[in-house]
Structure 1
Amino acid sequence: MRKPLLAALATLAIAGTGVAPAVAAPQAAAVTVDFAGIVSLSNCSGSVVRFPGSTDTAPALVMTNGHCLETGFPSPGQVITGQSSSRTFGLLNSAGTTVATLRANQVLYSTMTDTDVTIYRTTTTYAAIKSAYGISPLTLSASHPTAGTAIKVVSGYWKTIYSCNIDGFVYRLKEGSWTWKDSVRYTSACNTIGGTSGSPVIDTSTGQVVAVNNTGNEDGASCTVNNPCEVDANGTVTVRKGINYAEETYNIPACFTSANVLNLSAAACTLPKP
């Protein structure tokens, strides 16, 4: 998991604050990716997100990791919905400056089973944020990402943007007691560190979110906390020290109405249920 660690602080001190690792060659059709709509949490990163069908007057949502939940890691098999929250988020503009504090009133959904995501409902709307700060939410793609896609991982905690490509997909990613399905594996240039947990993974050709950054193998250990291992359909385990991962988000939009109401009973919704 990519919550802040002393090692991350040391890494940043060596690399230089705000300096991203090696950047992949930009694609001709790439859109501008900056910090607008990104948020900082007390221990993680996140973003203000909408779904393709969300209305402007719907409550604004913030997405981060399940393991960033303020009440602690959800247990394997646990799905949390409708939990009261007053968590705050620092809203960033395109330059990475904090321009507002958003506040949650509910955890709409949180789990570390199959995926690693928390979605908060805030006390304001997309329209109100746009009117006050000129900032639009990021849109979650409803399509499965593609291997080779150029991506950017945008951390509000560190105010750093990592650039790389999707290297491939992992049948099962195991870390400690948790297992995630169809995880995104980055190429090595996205050398994410503690505090980047919950950062949106943005497809640079569309500007849409295709995954949420969540972990990486730090020490080369196998299937332990902070050292996830890859398991293929035949049960073969592969360890990739220094490689980082994210969880896909394309299956989330089908579980929400246009008013951003969670509906886990929707026919197309495949998210784990309580």
Structure 2
Amino acid sequence: MRKPLVAALLALVIAGAGAAPAVAAPHSAETAARTAAVAQPAPLSRTATASGTATIQAVNFAGAVSLSNCSGSVIRFPNSADTDPALVLTNGHCLETGFPSPGEVIVDQASSRTFGLLNSSGSRIGTLRASKVAYSTMTDTDVTIYQLTSTYARIRNSYGISALTVADTHPVAGTAISVVSGYWKRIYTCSIDGFVYRLKEGGWTWKDSVRYTSSCNTIGGTSGSPVVDDATGKVVAVNNTGNENGETCTVNNPCEVDESGNITVRQGINYAEETYQIPACFGTGNKLDLSASGCVLPKP
């Protein structure tokens, strides 16, 4: 999870870089300030073939959103309709009312939170608003899903932005991925190094987490960023934590626990929570149905 970085805030203000996030990544203030000062990568794009079929060249910022303290993305599921209310995906620990407690599941909670919608180059082109928190938890996974007041069709017609599709199959080790931060307007690229049976941080435990290779050195404000499969353009996970200073299983220092209970600490390595299990829990009209066949998300 992410903790406040007071020193980074001061450093960034002095440098003229703006405010640091209220929820911060598991890295030191010095690292956060230094990384924030690095120029963002050139915008990446998608093009179409002569036949009109979309060909994914590289991941860009289109569909990413910025929150007050985190990152997120406008998402849809394979069976979502253009007339459905759009959804925004971020972390459970980015919820505006505070971290859900271990074992807590929040559904249909009123919210009017706003999100800054980005275009492909990372420019903010509009503001989206939530109507409610459809689902939020930090148990087994670390997700919040907001339902918006706008449909997918309205967003596309108003801003020319389509939602990112959440893959409904398990990600694969070795897959090239991009972590797209709407907060920092920065894209981190690496690969899926492997999967963690249990990732434990403080009182929370997450199942079957994604472990990045070391080049995805995500920082404060990247919480909730979509993890995008470079080959398909689909969301396969949501960025959420990393081990900051080598402590074992403490807040901001998650540890890996295998099936036998053996603990491994990987200082400086970052993680995400898989999202392939989410589509089965949303039915017609993007309505949450935790009793649906195949839905394994924790229930209240």
Q: TM-score range by the shorter chain?
A: over 0.9
1:72 matched residue in structure 2: 98
- The percentage of aligned residue pairs carrying the same residue is 72
SS in 2 for 1:162: strand
Query: What's the offset of the Cα at 1:267?
Result: 1.1
Greater relative contact order (Cα 8 A, min sep 6): structure 1 or 2? 1
2:116 matched residue in structure 1: 90
Kindly indicate whether the alpha-carbon contact (under 8 Å) linking 1:4 and 1:43 is maintained by their aligned counterparts in 2: no
Task: Choose which of 19, 25, 30 in structure 2 pairs with 1:10.
Answer: 30
Query: What's the offset of the Cα at 1:12?
Result: 4.1
SS in 2 for 1:170: strand
Deviates more, 1:4-13 or 1:256-265: 4-13
Please tell me whether residue 188 in structure 1 is matched to residue 208 in structure 2.
no
**Aligned AA for 1:188?**
S
Task: Choose which of 58, 64, 71 in structure 2 pairs with 1:45.
Answer: 71
SS in 1 for 2:252: coil
Question: Structure 1: 5+ residue runs without aligned partners?
Answer: 22-28
Query: What's the offset of the Cα at 1:14?
Result: 2.1
Query: What's the offset of the Cα at 1:20?
Result: 6.1
2:231 matched residue in structure 1: 205
Task: Choose which of 260, 263, 269 in structure 1 pairs with 2:286.
Answer: 260
1:25 matched residue in structure 2: none
Kindly indicate whether the alpha-carbon contact (under 8 Å) linking 1:3 and 1:195 is maintained by their aligned counterparts in 2: no
Bigger Rg, structure 1 or 2 = 2
Distance 2:35 2:108 in 1: 40
**Aligned AA for 1:17?**
A
Distance 1:9 1:222 in 2: 20
Kindly indicate whether the alpha-carbon contact (under 8 Å) linking 1:20 and 1:162 is maintained by their aligned counterparts in 2: no
Give the TM-score normalised by the residue count of structure 1.
0.94
**Aligned AA for 1:11?**
T
Query: What's the offset of the Cα at 1:259?
Result: 1.1
Kindly indicate whether the alpha-carbon contact (under 8 Å) linking 2:40 and 2:185 is maintained by their aligned counterparts in 1: no
Distance 1:160 1:248 in 2: 21
Q: 1:16 to 1:122 in 2, by over 3 A?
A: closer
Q: Provide Cα deviations, 1:179-212, integer angstroms capped at 9, x if missing partner.
A: 0000000000000011100000000000000000
Q: 1:261 to 1:72 in 2, by over 3 A?
A: same
Distance 2:40 2:140 in 1: 29
Distance 2:128 2:87 in 1: 10
- Cα RMSD between the aligned structures? 1.5
Query: What's the offset of the Cα at 1:32?
Result: 1.8
2:266 matched residue in structure 1: 240
SS in 2 for 1:71: coil
1:116 matched residue in structure 2: 142
Q: Provide Cα deviations, 1:116-142, integer angstroms capped at 9, x if missing partner.
A: 000000000100010011000000000
Q: Provide Cα deviations, 1:3-57, integer angstroms capped at 9, x if missing partner.
A: 5534566324323535469xxxxxxx96321110000000000000000000001
Task: Choose which of 168, 175, 196 in structure 2 pairs with 1:149.
Answer: 175
Kindly indicate whether the alpha-carbon contact (under 8 Å) linking 1:31 and 1:207 is maintained by their aligned counterparts in 2: no
Kindly indicate whether the alpha-carbon contact (under 8 Å) linking 2:32 and 2:220 is maintained by their aligned counterparts in 1: no
SS in 2 for 1:15: helix
Q: Provide Cα deviations, 1:118-171, integer angstroms capped at 9, x if missing partner.
A: 000000010001001100000000000000000000000111100000000000
Distance 1:155 1:72 in 2: 21
